[in-house]
Amino acid sequence: MMNKQCAIEIHKLALEAISRLSQVLAVAESRCDKKEYEKIKKGVGLSIGSIQMELLETINSAFPDLDDLK
């Protein structure tokens, strides 16, 4: 089991990754054609979902006080 300091660091980095992926989506929306944008949107959505479910949910179940959505 990871210690709390490790969980805090991973939590922070995971949220930063989600933020950067959201920026990717914004760039794609403004610069790509609709078909390309839809592919990128799907990839970003799957990536964010994976980060949420595989990283953040694992951390939040071990350290509920780090769950910023509660």
Q: What is the pLDDT of residues 19-43, one digit of tens each?
A: 999 999 999 999 999 999 999 999 9
- Give the type of residue at 64: P
Q: Name residues whose C-beta falls within 8 Å of residue 18's C-beta, 6 or more positions apart in sequence.
A: 48, 51, 52
Instruction: With CA atoms as reference, report the closest residue to 54 among 1, 4, 11, 8.
Output: 11
Are 14 and 56 in contact by the 8 Å Cβ rule? The answer is yes
Tokens in use for 50? 């994976």
pLDDT confidence of residue 1: 74
Q: Name residues whose C-beta falls within 8 Å of residue 27's C-beta, 6 or more positions apart in sequence.
A: none
pLDDT at residue 70 greater than cutoff 70:
no
pLDDT at residue 64 greater than cutoff 80:
yes
pLDDT at residue 69 greater than cutoff 80:
no
pTM of the complete model: 0.87
Mean pLDDT over all residues of the chain? 94
